[in-house]
Amino acid sequence: MAIRLMGRRALKKRTLPDYDYIGYDFEALGLFCDTDQPIQAAFVKLDPDFEVIRSLNLKIMRNPYAVPGPKALEVTGLRPSCLHSSDRMTEFDAARKIANVIGRTPTVEAIRKKVFFGYNILSYDEGLLRYFLFRNLQDVYLTTGKNERRLDLFPAFQYLHFVSPGLIKPGRKEDGSLSWKLSDVMAANGMIAENAHDAEADTLMTAELLKLFVERAQGVFEMFVELSDKRHVSKTLSELMRSSSFVMEFSHFGSPEVTPLAPMARVGHKGHKTLGVDLAIHPREWMAMSAEEIAANLYKADSPFRIVKHNACPIIVSPDDARLRGRLEQMRYRCDYELFERRASYIRRPDIVEKFQQVAQIMEAENREKFGGRKVARESELYNKFVGDADRNLCRIISREEEWDQRMKQIAKLTDPRLRDFAGRLVAMHAPEEFVCEEHLLALREQYAIRLNDEDDSGTIQTIAIAEKELETVSDPVLREECAEMLQRLRKEFKEEIELIDACVADMRAVASAPEDTRQLDLGLFN
């Protein structure tokens, strides 16, 4: 893959924090980031001077229970037959390699902060990476620790275009409207790239745009890096709740919007969300609402209420920010700061604050009711609790070991049921037969069964039925036919695998209950 620069000058030397930069991109089998599997992963590591010091481009083999999404194959240009080519590695081995590149090491470099960057990563790739690491027994918080920051250039460029048009140019569609597609933004800024929707190509393109961003708008770059720290966001919003001030929130859903936001209450037992009010809307529009009515109106169009997720890199900017304030005044858009200040002060009356605290409690109760008791994949239990230190250490040893006989000693010690399930799948898929037991087979069986369940409504798994419905969205008739045949074949294979596992488990149980001198089992039945 080549990137050609048209008239670009070298990056100016600037005074920046001593960061390492790690760019990444995934191509995957679908849009369910909890459970869909990456099939290509690319990482590039840059030093503080933006020089490439390491790169990684991995092609990943499809897990035997994974269901490829027809639309995902169309977007990436892959055919079903390509997913088991000889140049692909197992997902487990890919996760080990990636963790080795981006993980924390006990060296002087570990003290230096890392900025993980990409294009539109926060809406998908970040989640995919986390669940991918979780499923393969790696540390899932490698991108969000004390010394890690995240930078999504997609919303950053949308904000920069709003406050300082022309510094980073958007692309244009055929009808003349703005385009924020990566390849279009590259072309608009004097760069020609090839192989869009190839993970390696996208990562290298994004690295070039990162350099351009720092060169042309260092202050905005540093603001976005800081906003990726949820501790900074939490502190900012907490301080505002104790005052009569507000913050400007930028969003872009088809068109840019700036909301003067008054934070009112923390949401959830961990307090990682904040409920706020849009001060551009007169308080009389909602003052008479009860806490229950406010909760019912949270997600409606034109609602005056906003929810800020602290760990989602929200674009919250001080009203005193000269660049944003100047642009708003130039546009005569939401620049009546004195009015917003008066409203923020007024709605911080104790009775109103108490009402919003009640709303936060209602939200938390509704969330527990919605998700409580619902059967989900183990991956979707990621945020139920942190993995304990003992299990985390066992996972590190499992990943470090090269031989399964050594890995099995550590797998047997795992206590977290989520990790035991993941380890069971890995053993059933990759370990020699002599190490496979009933628990491992049943963990793998569950994955086949879930994807055969045409009634699944968890919203977290690509079942065969969901993939079949997606066929009609594929525009390439040849690929559509290939995918239809693939899904029909997978439905048959999954049923056969379940039958084989059931037979093998039955034999295991029979052997376990037989006299010791007659215990023999041919695990070849499973192969």
Same domain? 129 vs 156: yes
Going by C-alpha positions, the residue among 455, 436, 426 that lies closest to residue 505 is: 436
376 belongs to a structural domain: no
79 belongs to a structural domain: yes
Same domain? 446 vs 421: yes
Same domain? 11 vs 154: yes
Cα 122 from Cα 130, distance rounded (Å)? 11
Domain stops at, among 190, 208, 225: 225
Same domain? 342 vs 469: no
Supply the range of the domain harboring residue 286: 230-367
Tens-level pLDDT at each residue, the chain (527 residues): 444 444 444 444 456 678 899 999 999 999 999 999 999 999 999 988 888 899 999 999 999 999 999 999 999 999 999 998 999 999 999 999 999 999 866 554 556 789 999 999 999 999 999 999 999 999 999 998 888 999 999 999 999 999 999 999 999 999 989 999 999 999 999 987 666 668 888 898 899 999 999 999 999 999 999 999 999 999 999 999 988 899 999 999 889 999 999 999 999 877 789 999 999 999 999 999 999 999 999 998 889 999 999 999 999 999 999 999 999 999 999 999 999 999 999 999 999 999 999 999 999 888 777 655 556 789 999 988 999 999 999 999 999 999 999 999 999 999 999 999 999 999 999 999 999 999 999 999 999 999 999 987 777 899 999 999 999 999 999 999 999 999 999 999 999 999 999 999 999 999 888 776 655 555 555 55
Three-state DSSP class for 203?
Answer: helix
Other CB atoms within 10 A of residue 394 CB:
24
Question: Torsions phi, psi of 143, nearest 5?
Answer: -100, 0
Q: CATH code at 14?
A: 3.30.420.10
Cα 86 from Cα 292, distance rounded (Å)? 58
Same domain? 220 vs 240: no
Going by C-alpha positions, the residue among 48, 30, 47, 52 that lies closest to residue 39 is: 30
Task: Please give the single-letter amino acid code of residue 346.
Answer: Y
Count the helices and strands in the chain (H runs, E runs).
18, 14
Question: What are 110's two structure tokens?
Answer: 């570990």
Going by C-alpha positions, the residue among 445, 442, 489, 450 that lies closest to residue 466 is: 450
In Å, how far are 17, 200, 384, 511, 524 from 434, measured between CA atoms? 52, 38, 33, 14, 10
Same domain? 355 vs 458: no
Same domain? 411 vs 522: yes
What is the model's pLDDT at position 9? 43
Domain stops at, among 169, 195, 225: 225
Alpha-helix residue ranges (DSSP H) falling in 217-248: 218-227, 230-241
372 belongs to a structural domain: no
Same domain? 16 vs 143: yes
Structural domain total, the chain: 3
Cα 527 from Cα 523, distance rounded (Å)? 8
The answer to whether 261 touches 308, Cβ cutoff 8 Å, is: yes
What is the model's pLDDT at position 5? 41
Same domain? 256 vs 318: yes
375 belongs to a structural domain: no
Task: Please give the single-letter amino acid code of residue 479.
Answer: L
Residue that the structure tokens 């529009």 belong to: 285
Cα 446 from Cα 5, distance rounded (Å)? 50
What is the model's pLDDT at position 514? 76
Same domain? 403 vs 508: yes
Same domain? 218 vs 234: no
Domain stops at, among 367, 395, 422: 367
Cα 247 from Cα 315, distance rounded (Å)? 10
Same domain? 328 vs 187: no
Going by C-alpha positions, the residue among 215, 21, 240, 31 that lies closest to residue 118 is: 21
Three-state DSSP class for 272?
Answer: coil
- Note the pTM of the prediction, 2 decimals: 0.89
Q: CATH code at 279?
A: 3.30.1520.20
Going by C-alpha positions, the residue among 89, 1, 92 that lies closest to residue 44 is: 1
11 belongs to a structural domain: yes
Question: What are 204's two structure tokens?
Answer: 């290298």
Question: What are 241's two structure tokens?
Answer: 């709740």
Task: Please give the single-letter amino acid code of residue 513.
Answer: S
User: In the 8-state DSSP scheme, what is residue 404?
Assistant: H
